[in-house]
Structure 1
Amino acid sequence: MSQLTVALDMMGGDHGPSVTVPAAAQALSLLPELNLALFGPESELSPWLSRFHLQSHPRVRIHFCTQQVGNEHKPAYALRHLVDSSMRKALDTLAEGRAQACVSAGNTGALMAMAVKVLNTVPGVERPALITRLPRAGGGYTLLLDVGANVSCDAHQLVQFALMGEQASRHVLAVTRPRIALLNVGAEANKGNEAVRQASRTLQALGQMNYVGYVEGDDLFSDKADVIVCDGFVGNVALKTSEGVARLLLGLGRRRGLGWKMLTFWLKKRLSHLNPDQYNGASLVGLRASVVKSHGSAGSPAFLNAILQAVAEIEHDLPASIAHRFDTAPQDSHAR
């Protein structure tokens, strides 16, 4: 595409520029068509920009800010008082049309509040949802949403998440007819809370959607669904638990001795696809532009993957496809 610009909050996360600057430099080297807009305080950002020769890079625009959003800041405070933060300025650039996507590893609540305020949701979407990829047995990916943006959801919102997940699977992962499922405590029709049961009834009534019913937690990495829908509380716990188990398995071989070294080699060969860093980057879908949330603890390779995720969403114009899906959804589907 002729214009490909991603705005980066360089100060988000646990490590700031020591992670975000090397990732930005690598992204530029991998993608010759990519332009970056970088945001952060001059005193902290400039030394790292100099180290990686980005201060005069022809495809980099640098914007120095006087504030940054910390993990301790509540969303309401960040929204009202941190208007010159790297997170807010990156989102402002997106709203002004000078970038097509934004990536931040910062405070999730603040990012959600600012993104909704600055960008607004597409018509018909009540609240954005965080969506992420999970590796699937036999290859491929399953999309899981919401993974933390909305800790409590009603049936209408779960249906909206299903519609957005369907579009993400179709347009970003090229699944022709995505299978949609609800995450539940059992596969039987009478299981789950009222919100999940009502959402299931609504999704069954949507004739154009390939709804396959309930899946349980042990189906997350199976091939039973292409999109799995849940509220943000359940999704975040499921995601973090999965990441913890993956890191446990990948770290078992870090012990001394020949046997452990052999185990390390086997684990890296057989389980490398489970490394959570490969799937870093949860998108806030439902907004008028693409916003990708990186893990706060992400290293440079993981933050790079979040940038690449943002680029993929620009290339497939995911916000526009979601807006079109809501335009064509039946009026009685509770999607509005």
Structure 2
Amino acid sequence: MSLPRIAVDAMGGDEGVRVMVEGAALARRRHDRFKFLLVGDEPRIKAALDAHPNLRASSEILHTDGVITGEDKPSQAIRRAKSTSMGLAINAVKTGDAGAAVSGGNTGALMAMSKLALRTMPGIDRPALAALLPTLGDNDVVMLDLGANTECDTRNLVQFAIMGAAYSRVVTGRESPRVRLLNIGTEETKGTDELRDAANVLKAAAADLSISFDGFTEADKVCRGDVDVVVTDGFSGNIALKAIEGTARFVGDLLRRSFASSLRSKIGFLVSRPATELLKHHLDPNNHNGAVFLGLNGIVVKSHGSANAAGVANAVAVTARLLEEDVTDRITADLARVGEESLRMRRNGASAQEERA
């Protein structure tokens, strides 16, 4: 089966061309049916491809020397979209020259250009930024929204849950993902009206959507491993994500400081090194790299700007799996089902009112 190729913004990310090309080459070893469109400065890309003949044979280069920097505002990025590597990678998805785009560049610019070029899917009001986080269980947890929408209503939260569940099925293989809304408590009376209303809609539609929904979860339970999808507004989600990442760095730094504090501690480090290496691997953001803009007419994946080649490879691998599993079609089908459920709820409510009258 011929799969759509992946457009890679080769100029995005802190390390630029070398790391982006090396990451794409690593990803292709796992997904060797894909071809790539490498967007950026052609001489530099060609030089990087010399070390990766397998990728070179399956890639085309689209030249531009224009780059979106971390300091560029979204409005500035949009004006320069047609002359920058990020803008041309997204445009390749719009025109059908690629099925998805990957970039390690400016997040705000990437979201703004993606929304303008690709627009939202029918039935989706706003796209959401979703990412995978490690847990104590054998599954990663999908969390969204992580900053694309600071304020969300009931309809937005329900749509996020549908998109997050579709994404979770792709990455976890669980046919009925465990979905929860992030809240300040698990009691049904806690939280805003929007959260409580969204919980009611999801409870009623859970069977049709093939999800396991049991209300709310709190921030300290996000990474416990007993939930597959955590849904929240972008304001709360971004704060929660940065708190989780900051805590992981704090624990790592504290361990390094503790093990270096004395000779006995250094000996203890040598004894416990297998365990500390496992912890380091589990907390390494490169092993969970690749945030997805869900809800667009096309797939766009954001790689950490500081990601190494292995991290970029993970982001490209996430992109490949989303294309292989037709996640956009899955979201469309689930939206249709929740629409039918909402219609039944309205009809049942109207019938009940008539009977009371």
Q: TM-score, normalised by structure 2?
A: 0.86
Once residues 158 and 81 of structure 1 are traced to their aligned partners in structure 2, the CA distance between those partners, rounded to angstroms, is 33
> Any conservation in 1 of the 2:80–2:87 contact (CA below 8 Å)?
no
Aligned partner of 2:195 in structure 1 is: 196
Query: Which of 326, 337, 342 is equivalent to 1:328?
Result: 337
C-alpha contact (below 8 Å) 1:8/1:36 kept by paired residues:
yes
The count of aligned residue pairs is 333
Structure-1 residue corresponding to 2:323: 314
User: Which aligned pairs between 1:185-334 and structure 2 lie closer than 5 A?
Assistant: 185-208=184-207, 209=209, 210-251=212-253, 252-253=255-256, 255-256=259-260, 257-270=266-279, 272-330=281-339, 333=342
Report if the CA contact (8 A) 1:26-1:304 is conserved.
Answer: yes
User: Cα deviation per residue 1:191-218 (whole Å; 9 max; x = unaligned)?
Assistant: 2233322322332332534321010011
1:161 and 2:170 equivalent?
A: no
Q: Return the offset for 1:187.
A: 1.1
Residue 273 of structure 1 deviates from its aligned partner by: 2.4
User: What is the root-mean-square deviation of aligned Cα atoms in Å?
Assistant: 2.3
Q: Structure 1 stretch 310-319 or stretch 166-175: which is displaced more?
A: 166-175
Q: 1:26 to 1:271 in 2, by over 3 A?
A: closer
Cα distance, 1:96 vs structure 2: 1.9
* Number of the residue aligned with 2:76: 77
The CA deviation at 1:125 is 0.4
| Corresponding residue for residue 67 of structure 1 | 66
Greater shift, 74-83 or 96-105, is seen at: 74-83
- Residue in structure 2 matched with residue 137 of structure 1 by the alignment: 136
Letter in 1 for 2:125: E
Which residue of 2 is the match for residue 175 of structure 1?
174
* 8 Å contact from structure 2 (residues 81, 113) kept in 1: no
Deviation of the 1:321 alpha carbon: 1.0
Classify the secondary structure of the residue corresponding to 1:83.
Answer: helix
State how 1:43-62 maps to structure 2 within 5 Å: 44-50=44-50, 52-53=51-52, 57-62=56-61
d(CA) in 2 for partners of 1:55, 1:28 = 8
Residues of 2 paired with 1:299 and 1:170: CA distance? 27
Structure 1 residues 45 and 328: alpha-carbon distance in aligned structure 2, compared to 1, 3 A threshold: same
Amino acid in structure 2 at the alignment position of 1:152: E
Q: List alignment gaps of at least 5 residues for structure 1.
A: none
Check 1:156–1:133 CA distance in 2 against 1; reply closer, same or farther (3 A cut).
same
CA offsets per residue over residues 245-276 of structure 1, 9 Å max, x none? 23343452475432233344321135532322
- Counterpart of 1:243, as a letter, is E
String of CA shifts for 1:218-263, please: whole Å, max 9, x gaps: 1101233221100112212222222232334345247543223334
Partner SS for 1:262: helix
Distance 1:332 1:135 in 2: 33
Q: 2:88 aligns to what?
A: 89
Q: Between the two proteins, what is the percent identity of the paired residues?
A: 38
More helix by percentage: 2
Contact 1:169/1:226 (<8 A) preserved: yes
Q: 1:285 to 1:152 in 2, by over 3 A?
A: same
- Report SS of the residue matched to 2:293: strand
Shift of 1:2: 2.0
- Aligned residue for 1:298, secondary structure, equals coil
**Equivalent AA in structure 2 for residue 22 of structure 1:** E
1:37 equivalent in structure 2:
37
Report the Cα distance in structure 2 between the residues aligned to 1:233 and 1:299, rounded to whole angstroms.
Answer: 28
CA contact (8 A) 2:10 2:39 kept: yes
Specify the structure having the higher radius of gyration (Cα).
2
1:99-149: CA deviations, max 9, x gaps?
A: 221111111111111112222221010111111122232311221111122
Does the 8 A contact of 1:253 with 1:261 survive in 2?
Answer: no
